[in-house]
Amino acid sequence: MDEIVSQPIRLRDLAALLGREYQGDPDLEIRSVASLEDAGPADLAFVRSEKLLDRARASEAGALIVPPGLDLGARATIESPDPGLDFARAAKKVCAAERPLPGVHPAASVDAAASVDPRASIGAGAVVEAGARIGAETVVEANAVIEADVQIGAACRLAAGSIVRHGCVLGDRVVVQAGAVIGSDGFGFVKNPEGAFEAAPQLGSVVLEDDVEIGANSTIDRGSLGPTRIRRGAKIDNLVHVAHNCEVGEDVVIAAQTGLSGSTFVGAGAMLMGQVGASGHLRIGAGAFVGPRSGLHRDVKDGARVWGSPQMDEKNWHRSAASLARLPGIFARVRALERKLGLRETRDGEEE
């Protein structure tokens, strides 16, 4: 893991970098970032909303990124319409990960027929097979495996123990976290006349476009014929499975433990929360929201918000959940009415 290196910055320079207005000592030096509770005089923290005003006032942070109109007196602040976003951008500047030096570690194995840009970094124990191409400023960490004929663009990061299998294509600035597998065989089997299953060849690949991030221990299966494709800017959490021939659209967010069966299409900007399961050959529309632990058995329209298993629209799901909580009381009233009408006998131990 790269060492996190502090890069101190003055308040006025950080505000200019973010394109925001500030108040307070322009020469205040910010050395790190922290939560409201843990921050000290050299730290930057942020306040998401007015609900956190008391915690902000109690914080010892040297400077705060705050929403417009939040009254913190004379404290050093940077005003932002989106404090969380600007805090993340500030953190990248103040606490940057030190990049390893370019070059190939002596303990790495790089085939002579591979092409590695001299500005790339290949870590100890990493394997780069024949025909692989690795772009400038890409980091392949310790024990990562890049199989034959893989193409990886510039400024990517392949974390320790990740695997990119043969023939897959990664664009620029792609991040593959530790233990993730890109291009494993899809789950394709056909039953023969004797009733046994035979594996169908998985001849496609995986394409991860620019700025895609794949979380730790996630698996993106190669297509059975054409590619499985994750489009630009999509962010996939840890422990997610994307099956063969799926297409995940631009800027899609998929949370942990979600599984997409084969040939599922996810439109641009959709959000799938944790533990969503989608049966195969479905279309999840652009901008759709799928609540946690939902089970999808039919298409989801563009912009729709669905929850539950089986899925239902968000309003109906909330009504159903509220009704479920009232069921014990309803059953008790029904039993009381049945006894009053002589349709039910009271049993020993049963409440009236």
Residue 99: strand, helix, or coil: coil
How buried is residue 292: exposed, middle or buried, by Cβ count under 10 Å (0-12/13-18/19+)? middle
Mean pLDDT along residues 56-71: 95
Inform me whether the pLDDT recorded for 3 exceeds 90: no
Inform me whether the pLDDT recorded for 349 exceeds 60: no
Inform me whether the pLDDT recorded for 285 exceeds 90: yes
Q: Tens digit of pLDDT for each residue in 175-225?
A: 999 999 999 999 989 999 999 999 999 999 999 999 999 999 999 999 999
Pairwise CA distance, residues 35 & 244, whole Å: 41
Inform me whether the pLDDT recorded for 6 exceeds 90: no
Inform me whether the pLDDT recorded for 319 exceeds 90: no
Between 338 and 89, the more confident residue is 89
DSSP assignment of 158-213 equals E-TT-EE-TT-EE-TT-EE-TT-EEEEPP--EEE-TTS-EEEPP----EEE-TT-E
Helix (H) or strand (E) holding 307: strand 305-307
pLDDT at 222: 97
Mean pLDDT along residues 1-6: 61
Domain ranges of the chain: 4-97
Q: Tens digit of pLDDT for each residue in 143-183?
A: 999 999 999 999 999 999 999 999 999 999 999 999 999 99
- Minimum mean pLDDT range among 1-5, 8-12, 171-175, 182-186: 1-5
Residue 238 neighbours by CB under 8 Å, 6+ apart: 177, 215, 216, 217, 218, 256
pLDDT at 350: 54
Residue of 241, 244, 281, 297 with catalytic role: 244
Instruction: State in words which class domain 4-97 has.
Output: alpha beta
pLDDT at 24: 95
Strand-pair partners of 214: 176, 236
Q: Taking the model in full, what pTM does it have?
A: 0.85
Q: Which amino acid is at 12?
A: R
Inform me whether the pLDDT recorded for 320 exceeds 90: no
Active site residue 297: no
Report whether 236 contacts 216 (CB < 8 A).
no
Inform me whether the pLDDT recorded for 55 exceeds 80: yes
Pairwise CA distance, residues 258 & 256, whole Å: 6
Report whether 182 contacts 214 (CB < 8 A).
yes
